[in-house]
Amino acid sequence: MRVRHRRGGSPRGLGLVEFVIVLPVAIVFVLGMVQAGFIYMAKLQVNHATFQAARLGSLHNADEGVMKTALLRSLSPFYQNNFETNDSVRLAKAKVGTELDQVLHPVKLERLNPSAQSFDDFGVRDPKTGKTYIPNDNLEWRLDSVRPGSGQRLRDANILKIRVVYGYELKVPLMAGVLSRVMCSGKSGVDAFADVGVLESMYLKASDECIRYYLRGRLPIESFALVEMQSRAER
């Protein structure tokens, strides 16, 4: 009986081996769940910031500079230190942090509508300013036929649509490395993002997503917003 017991191994030793095997997987799983919660909250914030940018753009001739300023202002919560009790100091530091982050990780803002074809079909040149604008007054009395270039009506051309891509910095330990290996590493990665190694990615052979986001510990969060123009869109 003693010989059999020694050959079968100690139950305590087997439990230790199982613990060592399962522990890393369990840690990664728990950290992944925590990071997923942070990503969900970040997505809500980016959606709100995108809507605020489109809303302000609808009032200021769809100006991309105005929309970019409003977008960055709404993204400032990502850079606020909640342990700072002085509101003025906290907001000032968040503003500085937002501007500094744009140097290395600029947020993308693209105006999808009105498009260049929209301006070609409906654009009117203002003799005073020299700018081309799309009329948005008295739309109910204007001829509203579909134009072949853009495939739009005048009302459609007065819908502001923007696209925003923000590189969210992953905060939870290990998650940035795990995500970069999954999205940008060899045959175990996702082909849609690049089937190359990490070192090859650093030499600009990877996709834009890997170079711009994943290899820098960031996750691209995309958001869209549609708002009816309250002023004439200008180009």
Mutual orientation of helices 11-59 and 64-74 as an angle, nearest 10°?
Answer: 140
Q: Give residue for tokens 């010989």.
A: 3
Question: Do the beta carbons of residue 50 and residue 72 sit within 8 Å?
Answer: no
Cis peptide before 127 (omega within 30 of 0): no
- Give pLDDT, residue 2: 54
Identify the H or E element spanning 221: strand 218-228
Question: Do the beta carbons of residue 111 and residue 56 sit within 8 Å?
Answer: no
Question: Do the beta carbons of residue 143 and residue 96 sit within 8 Å?
Answer: no
User: Mean pLDDT over residues 185-204, rounded?
Assistant: 47
User: Mean pLDDT over residues 105-121, rounded?
Assistant: 93
Above 60 in pLDDT, residue 186?
no
Question: Do the beta carbons of residue 71 and residue 49 sit within 8 Å?
Answer: yes
3 state SS for 154-168? HHHHCEEEEEEEEEE
Q: Which of 122-136, 153-167, 168-182, 190-204 has the lowest mean pLDDT?
A: 190-204
CB atoms < 10 A from the CB of 104, how many? 8
Question: How many whole angstroms separate alpha carbon 218 and alpha carbon 210?
Answer: 9
Question: Which of the four pLDDT bands, split at 50, 70 and 90, describes residue 12?
Answer: low
- Give pLDDT, residue 205: 45
Which residue type does 102 have? Q
Above 90 in pLDDT, residue 212?
no
Above 70 in pLDDT, residue 199?
no
Above 60 in pLDDT, residue 200?
no
User: Mean pLDDT over residues 182-193, rounded?
Assistant: 55
pTM given for the model:
0.79
